[in-house]
Amino acid sequence: MLLYLSKITLILIASIVIYKLVLENSKAHHFKRYYLLGTLLIGLFLPFITVSTDVEMVSWNQTLEELNDVIMETPKQEVMVSSTIDWSYGIGVLYLIGIVFSLSKLVVETIKIRRLKQEGTSIEFNDVAIVLSSQITNAFSFRNTVYFPITEEVSEDNKILQHEIVHVQQRHSLDIILIEILKVLFWFHPIFYYYKTCIALNHEFLADDSSVSSQEEAGAYLQLLLAQTYKQHELQVTSSFNFNLTKKRFIMITKNNSPWRNRVGISLSCILFLLVGTLAIQAKSTNQKVTSDTSSRPFQATDTRAQYPGGMNKFINDFLLNFTDPYPYSEESEAKVVIQFTVEMDGTLENIVVLRDPLGVGEEIVKTLRTMPKWLPAQKNGEVVSTVFTLPITFKRATP
b/e map 4-30, b = 16+ CB within 10 Å: eeebbeebbebbbebbeebbbebbbbe
Contact 229, 242 (CB under 8 A): yes
At residue 251, what is the residue type? I
Contact 164, 148 (CB under 8 A): yes
The angle subtended at Cα 319 by Cα 315 and Cα 322, nearest 5°, is 140
**Residue 397's beta-bridge partner residues?**
74
Contact 62, 35 (CB under 8 A): no
**Residue 337's beta-bridge partner residues?**
393
Look at residue 72 in the predicted model and tell me its pLDDT: 61
User: What pairing do the DSSP bridges indicate for beta strands 140-142 and 145-149?
Assistant: antiparallel
At residue 199, what is the residue type? I
Look at residue 56 in the predicted model and tell me its pLDDT: 46
- For the chain, 400 residues long, give each residue's pLDDT as a single digit of tens: 788 899 999 999 999 999 999 999 999 999 999 999 999 999 999 988 866 555 444 434 344 455 666 666 655 444 444 444 557 788 889 999 999 999 999 999 999 999 999 999 999 998 999 999 999 988 999 999 999 999 988 998 899 999 999 999 999 999 999 999 999 999 999 999 999 999 999 999 999 998 887 777 888 888 887 777 666 665 777 777 656 666 788 888 888 888 999 999 999 999 999 999 988 875 444 444 444 444 444 445 667 888 889 888 888 888 888 887 665 545 555 778 888 888 888 889 988 998 888 877 888 888 889 888 999 888 888 888 888 888 888 877 655 5
Residues 6+ apart with CB under 8 A from 391: 66, 67, 70, 338, 339, 340, 341
CATH code of the region 312-395: 3.30.1150.10
Look at residue 283 in the predicted model and tell me its pLDDT: 47
Whole-Å CA distances, 192 to 36, 96, 181, 185, 326 = 11, 18, 10, 10, 42
Look at residue 326 in the predicted model and tell me its pLDDT: 60
Instruction: Write the DSSP assignment of 240-288 as a string of letters.
Output: ETTTT--HHHHHHHHPPP-HHHHHHHHHHHHHHHHHHHHHHSEEEEEEE
Whole-Å CA distances, 189 to 8, 60, 196 = 11, 52, 12
Task: Measure the CA–CA gap between 79 and 182, rounded to whole angstroms.
Answer: 42
Which residues of 39-182 form beta strands (DSSP E)? Answer: 50-60, 65-66, 70-74, 121-125, 128-133, 140-142, 145-149
Look at residue 395 in the predicted model and tell me its pLDDT: 77
At residue 98, what is the residue type? G
Whole-Å CA distances, 204 to 29, 208, 241, 379 = 10, 6, 8, 79
Look at residue 250 in the predicted model and tell me its pLDDT: 83
